[in-house]
Structure 1
């Protein structure tokens, strides 16, 4: 849980069903939803941060219990989706026991009011009856 006193400018929520590549040990990354991630960045980033590119930007990621994980927000190339990446992502997956398809993430971005650092907060909800990727039609109904 994030201390509300630490939150400056913040984005709207993004929701994402975890896919196999998001939890696969050799991938070390969470792929974000492209259009929603861009909206988040426009809301929270300052002009100098808008072009994160392939070099990336160091960010803090808060888990649901308030533990902080240091990661990078970056693009693989200019046409890909943004990703949160680091070997620490695998620790995050393990610490919260995240599972493909059954776990749905709620993600939001904010600027820390004191450090001015870009941060993410991630919470998860498990639906054990869901064992495969939801169709885009059903995902839209569920997440809208």
Structure 2
């Protein structure tokens, strides 16, 4: 849980079903949706800030308030953004995240004191879901109201 007094400008929420590659230890990364991340960045980033292929160091807050330092970057101009480093694996382990049955809620904010870009990640588990949702269902479930 993020202390509300530390939250400055913040984005809308994005949601994502975890898949095999998001929790596979050898990959050390969470793939995020390009459109959703761009919307988050537009509402939180200043005009001179960007992610790009070099990446941006971000603080990631889990549901227990623990902070993990990770890199938010684009693999190249034609790929989706990723949140990565070995601490992503620690985040997955600390929360016992599971492919398919866990659905993340992610939002971006600017830390009120440090000015640093941060992400907050929560999750909901549906034990009855044991495979990736179909594109049709995903579109319905993750439809952005805006």
1:32-111 alignment to 2 at 5 Å? 32-50=32-50, 52-111=51-110
Moved over 4 A (4+): none
Deviations, residues 86-115 of structure 1 (Å, cap 9, x unaligned): 100000000000000010000000000000
Post-superposition shift, 1:142?
1.8
- Deviation of 1:143 (Å): 2.5
TM value normalised by structure 2: 0.96
> Structure 2 unaligned runs (5+)?
none
Unaligned runs of 5+ in 1: none
TM-score norm. by structure 1 comes to 0.97
Query: CA RMSD of the aligned region, Å?
Result: 0.7
Q: 1:6 aligns to what?
A: 6
Deviation at 1:10, TM superposition (A): 0.4
Query: How many residues in Structure 1 have an aligned counterpart in Structure 2?
Result: 143
In structure 2, how many angstroms separate the alpha carbons of the residues matched to 1:136 and 1:62?
A: 29
21-30 or 132-141: bigger deviation: 132-141
